[in-house]
Amino acid sequence: MIKIPIAIVGAGGMGGRHLRALDALYKSGMSNVELIAVCDIRRENAIHLADKAEEILGSRPIVFTSMEQMKKDRPDIQAVDITTDSGSHHLIAELAFELGYNVLCEKPLSLTIRGCNRVIEAWKKSGKVLSVGEQERRDPICRLNKAIIDEGIIGNPYSFIQGSARGGNDIIIWPWRHYKNIGGIFVDAGVHTVDQMMYYLGDIEEVFAVSKIWEPKRYKGEKIGVANFYDHWVNEVPDEIDANAEDMVISTMKYKNGAVGQWTSFFAAHGEVTEYGMIYGSKGSIRPAKQRRGDPLTITLDGAGTISGNDVLELVPNFHLDELPARLFGSERLGSYNTPFEDADRFLVALEYFELGQCIADGTKPEVDAYIGRKDLAVCNAALESSILGRSVTIEEIENEKTSVYESSINDHWKI
Ligand SMILES: NC(=O)c1ccc[n+]([C@@H]2O[C@H](COP(=O)([O-])OP(=O)(O)OC[C@H]3O[C@@H](n4cnc5c(N)ncnc54)[C@H](O)[C@@H]3O)[C@@H](O)[C@H]2O)c1
C-alpha cells in the first residue's frame, strides 16, 4: 500500500497520543500514511516527540519549528496533522492550506465561527482534504448505538438527557483549558459531546442555556492531564491560575426532528462525581455508549424488557464494523470490548489517520468535515451566547454571526 508522507504539527499531549495511534495503524498492516516530520514552535517539544517516535515507530521524524521551513526542506510531505492548542487552529490550518498541505485538524476546528470560516475559505481555495479530528463517534460501541437508533429500535427519538459533574477547583487537564481565548474546558470537551448528540439524533437547531464561572482560581491538583500523556510537562504547571472560561453550562436544546435535549456540563463540581446519559424514544430507551470504555449498551423496550451486551447485536443483524476497526478491536460485531482506555484511544485516532490517507489517495470524503466541525462548535457557542443574551439562540444565528457577543473578545484577541 502506498504510504502518504505526513507531519504532526503540535508536539504536546495530544501530539503524543497521535503518535501512539500511528503505531497502532502501522501494526494493523493497513497503514497508508508515514510520519516524516514533527513541527512545534517549541523545539524541545518537537525533539521530545521525535525521540518518542524513534522509540515507538522505529524511525525518527525530522524536527522542524516552522511549517514554511518544513515545506522547503521536505516538499514530499502531503499532509499535516494539527495537534496544537485549540486557539491556534485557525492560523495553522489556514497556513497549511496556503502551503499546499492536506489537513487533519484536531477538534475544535477553531474557537469561533469566524475562525472556522477562515479555515474553510483557505481549504476550498486549496482543493485539498480537510478532516476534523473527532474520534469519539468512531468507537465500535458508538457505531452500534447509532445503528440501533437508525434502525428505529427505540422508536422516534423524544429526548437526549446527558450530564457530567466533576472538577472542583482543580486545573482540569492543562492550564489553557481555563482560558477562553485558547480553548476553555466547556468548548474543549463540549464539541465531543455535541458531536455525539448530533451523530445520534441529527442537527440541533436552538439552545437555551445558563453558564457560570464558579471557580475563577484553579489549583494544581493531584491529577493533571489525561492518563500519563502529559507527564513530561507536569512541572511546568503553576500551583494556581486565574481562570476566565466557563466551568458550568446547563442547556436545553431543540433538535430539528423535534426531539429535546438536556445537557449539563459542570466542571466545578465539588463532592461526588457524576456522569449520566439516556436517549428516550417512542418505544424505549438506550443508555448510550461511553466511548473508549467498551461498556455494553443497555436498551429497555416497552413490553420486551432490558437487553444488553451481545444480545443487542441481534437487534441489528446487518451491523458490522469496517475492516480496520474490526482488526484493531478484534471483531466486526462487538457488543462490548475489554480493550484498555489508552489502546481504545489510539485505535480511534488511527481510524482518523487511515481515513485521511484514503481521502488523499482516492477522493473519499472525510466523515467529520469542516461543516460538521463548525456546527459542533456552533452549538457550544450558542449555549454560551444564550447565557449572555438571556434568551434562546438558534444555531443559524451563530453560524451566520447574526449574534456573536461571546465570540467577539476571542475574535479581537486573535485579530480576526
Ligand atoms: N480528540 C481528543 O480526544 C483530544 C484530546 C486532547 C486534546 N485534543 C485537542 O488537541 C489539541 C492539542 O491539545 P494538547 O492537550 O495536546 O495541547 P498541548 O498544550 O499539550 O500541546 C500543544 C502543542 O502545540 C504547540 N504549538 C502551539 N502553537 C504552535 C504553532 N503555531 N506551531 C506549532 N506548534 C505549536 C505547543 O508548543 C505544544 O507543544 C487541542 O486542540 C485539543 O482540543 C483532542
pLDDT computed for residue 290 by the predictor: 87
Q: 389-401, pLDDT tens digit by residue?
A: 999 999 999 999 9
Tell me what the mean pLDDT of segment 28-56 comes to. Answer: 98
Does the structure show a pLDDT above 90 at 224? no
Tell me, in angstroms, the distance from the centre of ligand 1 to residue 46's CA: 12
Which pLDDT score, from 0 to 100, does residue 289 have?
A: 86
The pLDDT of residue 27 is 98
What contacts 54, CB < 8 A, 6 or more positions away? 60
CB of 112 within 8 A of CB of 404? Answer: yes
Q: Peptide bond before 61: cis, by omega within 30 degrees of 0? A: no
* Ligand 1: centre distance to CA 285 (Å): 37
Rounded CA-CA distance 133/32 in Å is 17
Give the alpha-carbon dihedral of 109, 91, 366, 180, to 10 degrees.
-10
CA 43 – ligand 1 centroid, Å: 14
Residue nearest to atom 5 of ligand 1 (CA): 14
Each residue of 320-365: pLDDT tens digit? 999 999 999 999 999 999 999 999 999 999 999 999 999 999 999 9
pLDDT value, residue 63: 98
SS3 320: coil
**Ligand 1 centroid, distance to 10 Cα (angstroms):** 6
Position 223 scores a pLDDT of: 83
**Residue whose CA lies nearest to ligand 1 atom number 8:** 14
Name every protein residue with a CB atom under 6 angstroms from any ligand 1 atom.
9-15, 39-42, 45, 83-86, 88, 92, 106-107, 133, 135, 174, 183, 188
Asked if 100 contacts 78 with a C-beta cutoff of 8 angstroms, the reply is no
Asked whether the beta carbons of 108 and 188 are under 8 A apart, the reply is: yes
Residue located via cell numbers 489556514: 94
Give the rounded percent of residues in the chain with a pLDDT score beyond 90.
Answer: 97
Q: What is the mean pLDDT of residues 32-54?
A: 98
> Which amino acid type is present at position 125?
K
Separation between Cα atoms, residue 404 and residue 411, nearest integer Å: 10
**What pLDDT is recorded for position 222?**
85
Predicted pLDDT of residue 135: 96
For the chain, domains (ranges, CATH) are 4-135+364-369 (3.40.50.720), 140-290+295-336 (3.30.360.10)
If you average pLDDT over residues 367-381, what whole number do you get?
Answer: 98
Confidence check: pLDDT of 228 > 90:
no
DSSP E strands in 184-246: the ranges are 204-212, 217-219, 240-242
Nearest to 296 by CA among 313, 319, 284: 313
Q: pLDDT digits over 253-267, tens only?
A: 999 999 999 999 999
Residue 90 CA to ligand 1 centre (angstroms) = 13
The residue nearest atom 39 of ligand 1, judged by CA position, is: 12
Which of the 8 DSSP states describes residue 297? P
From 20, 80, 83, the mutation candidate for ligand 1 (largest count of ligand atoms within 8 A of CB) is: 83
Give the nearest ligand 1 atom to 183 CA. Answer: 43
Average pLDDT, the chain: 97
Backbone Cα Rg of the chain: 21
DSSP reduced 3-state for 343: helix
Mean pLDDT of 42-61: 98
Mean pLDDT (whole number) for 155-161: 98
